[in-house]
Chain A
Amino acid sequence: MYQYNDFDAAFIAERNRQFRAQVERRIDGSLTEDEFKPLRLMNGLYLQLHAYMLRVAIPYGSLDPAKLRQLAYLAERWDKGYGHFTTRTNIQYNWPQLRDIPDMLDALAEVDMHAIQTSGNTIRNVTSDHFAGAAADELEDPRPVAELIRQWSTDHPEFQFLPRKFKIAVIASEADRAVMKSHDIGVKIVERDGTRGYEIWVGGGMGRTPMVAKLLKDFVPQADLLPYLESILATYNRLGRRDNKYKARIKITVHENGLDEIRDLVEAEFPRRRAAFSGVDQAWLDRINAAFVTPTLPERDAGDYYAARDADPVFRAWADTNVVAHQHADHGIVTISLKAHGATPGDASADQMRLVADLAERYGHNDIRASHAQNLVLPHVALADIPAVHAALREAGLATGNIGLASDIIACPGMDYCALATARSIPVAQGIATRLDELKIEHDVGHLQIKISGCINACGHHHVGHIGILGLDRAGVENYQITLGGDASESTAIGTRTGPGFAYDEIVPAIERLIFAYLDLREGPEETFLEAYNRLGLAPFKSALYDQEARAHAAE
């Protein structure tokens, strides 16, 4: 875990001091809301439907026990005792008061955290693989590069007023666990002829015009990364559509100008940018690398783990979904589901956060991750300790064994909180998960990703859900469109709309019909929902959605 140096700490302290004064000036009337709004957004403070919302960055999703305990403290001291983990691996507090925000930011600074650039037309929180440093398939830990990009992009003077927000993800394995190709820039660490470098993908995104990122350059040498990224950002900063918010993301810039044209412009910009980098960044990267050493994991006999699997079917079922292989065979990566059936996806109480911090300290080498799927991860747990971890999680209502299953739903806050939303998302997720729990079918159904957004901005990643749900306002009534065949993995795909949307009270039964149709249609349990869809196409699923409904209506 990267620790702030004196420069970082002084920077955050000064920024917090400035924002405290800005809040005071807003309250005493010296600043209008129009003047204050861009200042508060730069510091992660939104005003939503019912209250302010503070969005705190969790860089590349990495936490340690001290940070997570402080997040719990903020939840209790200044909010309603919980926090909401988001698809950008941030945490949001839904109920703070304006006067308290400066104190919250100071409390975050105590544990090397902040809320800078979690909003606004800037480079947002850099995300990465939540299994980084532990995954058996990674080339190297992608987080040092993510940290380098974080430092370079934080308060970068040239990129504080981009045409639109800008999101970057870094991965280091063939498997994409960070939805890299749905980012403005995706960086993939690769090796060529024994040398490490980067594939650079550009122009991915969701929102109203979803696009899969395109390969801009297949190999950027290590030392060229930041100047190359800077060349892309500078090109976008100049060409991006500031005249139309809906065409302002780089995906549109790439689409309108063409990938080859963008590449030519970036290459033309690059030499000048490269000349300005003296190599300091590479020296920094070495120092950052030293802060991300995977802990020395002692050899541990895994016998207790296998004995627990044999003895306890509940444990075995949970471990089957929530524990995956670690680089070290006697360890596992434990995902803690924040998706208890019927609960709000991504919410964790202060007590739950503290428990996870305790478990990370006791069993997990002080390492915790927030995933884009709104779950928490203990990346390094000895298999022998996992039964004890599971038992402790059960006590806290955190032992839901559903990772990758149909109730492990991504859902944005939707109209229960968000001022931009056109419909609710959370109750739809709750309804689907509750129904799946009643039916007791999700283990039979297997891998199925349902993702729900409460507006076209697609924070709930619906475009890349195997089943995507988009909540809209149709003539003053909530209406839910379904897309099928989206894919958030390395074979990234945008889902296809099935047809007319469903009313709020029709959407859960519609999803149920889709799931039962899949069970009927699949060649066997080994064929996943997405595989069955890709084999059969839209027609049989469409029929399950609409024909039965038509029959039901006819029978009324």
Chain B
Amino acid sequence: MPREFTPKVVTANALIEGDVVYLTVDDQWTRDLSEAEVLTDEADADYRLLQAQARAGEIVGAYLADMRPGPDGPEPTHFREDFRRTGPSNLFHGKQADGLGHA
């Protein structure tokens, strides 16, 4: 039986600001993980990643990050992605300070 596909979002860093962004269903880049498009099909995820990587004038280093469904949209399965969507834990900077984090 094929392994179940872990849901993914396309994420990257913005070219100018350098902060974390996520790809939305309507091809926008959002700073808020809850607005990201959740990809539940592997072929679809690979295709969306290729599309994202083609937008080199907007972002850097696009990749697929594992997620699990949550009440407010996708939730990271790994703590690294949790820090990326929140900001550093030593100072109240980054997304959490911009009202976007989930501290």
Contacts and interface: CB of A to CB of B under 8 A. Distances in A.
Contacts, number: 72
A344 to B, nearest CB: 5
B50 interface: no
Contacts of B84: 49-50
A50 B92 CA distance: 13
A478 B93 CA distance: 22
A548 interface: no
A308 interface: no
Nearest to B16: A98
Nearest to B53: A33
Nearest to B66: A476
A120 interface: no
Contacts of A33: 56, 60-61
B77 A416 contact: no
B9 to A, nearest CB: 16
A138 to B, nearest CB: 36
Contacts of A426: 88-90
Contacts of B61: 33, 47
Given A32-B56, A426-B89, A427-B89, A47 B18 contact: yes
A80 B91 CA distance: 11
A95 interface: yes
Contacts of B89: 416, 424, 426-427
Given A33-B60, A415-B83, A424-B89, A476 B16 contact: no
Given A27-B15, A47-B13, A50-B18, A476 B79 contact: yes
A372 to B, nearest CB: 21
Nearest to A427: B89
A427 B15 CA distance: 29
Interface in A424-438: 424, 426-427, 430
B16 to A, nearest CB: 5
Contact of A476 (B15, B57, B78, B93): B78
A52 interface: yes
Contact of A98 (B15, B77, B88, B95): B15
Contacts of B83: 49, 415-416, 424
A418 to B, nearest CB: 10
A274 B79 CA distance: 53
B90 A51 contact: no
B78 to A, nearest CB: 5
Interface in A453-501: 473, 476-478
A357 B90 CA distance: 26
Contact of B16 (A27, A50, A80, A417): A27
A69 to B, nearest CB: 23
A52 B19 CA distance: 8
B17 interface: yes
Nearest to B87: A50
A417 B13 contact: no
Given A33-B56, A47-B61, A478-B79, A416 B88 contact: yes
Interface residues of A, number: 30
A51 B19 contact: yes
A196 interface: no
A47 B88 contact: no
A49 B77 contact: no
Contact of A52 (B18, B20, B79, B95): B18
A97 B18 contact: yes
A52 B14 CA distance: 10
Identify which of B17, B79, B90, B95 gathers the most chain A CB atoms within 10 Å of its CB: B90
B90 A97 contact: no
Contacts of A47: 13, 18, 60-61
A501 to B, nearest CB: 15
Contact of A29 (B57, B79, B87): B57
A327 B19 CA distance: 48
A156 interface: no
B20 A49 contact: yes
Interface string B39-81: 0000000000000000011001100000000000000011110
26 contacts: A27-B57, A47-B13, A47-B61, A48-B18, A49-B84, A50-B20, A50-B87, A50-B93, A51-B17, A51-B19, A52-B18, A80-B93, A97-B16, A98-B15, A98-B16, A415-B79, A415-B83, A416-B88, A416-B90, A424-B83, A426-B89, A426-B90, A427-B89, A473-B80, A476-B78, A477-B79
Given A47-B18, A94-B88, A98-B17, 10 more contacts: A27-B57, A50-B19, A50-B93, A52-B18, A80-B93, A96-B18, A99-B16, A424-B83, A426-B89, A476-B78
Interface of A: 26-27, 29, 32-33, 47-52, 80, 94-99, 344, 415-417, 424, 426-427, 430, 473, 476-478
Interface of B: 13, 15-20, 56-57, 60-61, 77-80, 83-84, 87-91, 93-95
